Amino acid sequence: MDKVDDIDKKILNEYLDDARLSYREVAKRLNFAVGTILARTKKLELNNVIIGYTALLNHEKLGYDITAITEIRVSKGKLTEVEKEISKLTPTCAVYDVTGENDVIVIAKFKNRNSMSEFTKKLLSMTHVERTNSRIVLNTVKEDFRFQA
């Protein structure tokens, strides 16, 4: 793909503000032709710059009051397999390869301590998981993985 230019970035930022916007509405807001917005959006999708559209949810209103950050140490050479397995677990929101003492950081959300305990035990029962270290988030100051293009 060619480099994402300033027009593409403006389009992306409109979708970040509201992914439900029509091509016509984006064109109106940016003062471009609808065809331009359509063609550029399709190009961004085709080149996996836009990989999907979604709604932002208030997890607490859905009953997910606990956010946990878990560090995991994995046996040598088995990192990818473990990460793939963890990423399939329902409460998992994010899985990151990291540098430092541990190999993986997982962010997950839970409705109660029992579900967090079950998740942690499931992690510890996985082959090649050597150790976990979990932290519970007390207050969320900001949680928004959208950022301006």
At residue 20 the predicted structure's pLDDT band, cuts being 50, 70 and 90, is very high
Q: Is residue 84 part of a domain?
A: yes
Q: Please state the pTM of the whole predicted model.
A: 0.84
Which among 21, 90, 20, 95 is positioned nearest to 62, based on CA atoms?
A: 90
pLDDT higher than threshold 70 for residue 1: no
Q: In this structure, are residues 135 and 102 in contact, taking their beta carbons and an 8 Å threshold? A: no
What is the mean predicted confidence (pLDDT) over 77-96?
95
Residue 147 lies in a domain: no
109, 83, 85: which is closest to 96 by C-alpha?
Answer: 83
Same domain, 95 and 31: no
pLDDT of residue 41: 97
Q: By residue range, what is the domain housing residue 106?
A: 60-136
Nearest in space to 8 (alpha carbons), one of 40, 51, 38: 40
Q: For 46-71, write each residue's pLDDT tens digit.
A: 999 999 998 889 999 999 999 999 99
Q: Tell me, what's the pLDDT at 149?
A: 76
24 and 86 share one domain: no
Spatial contact of 37 and 26, defined as CB atoms under 8 Å apart: yes
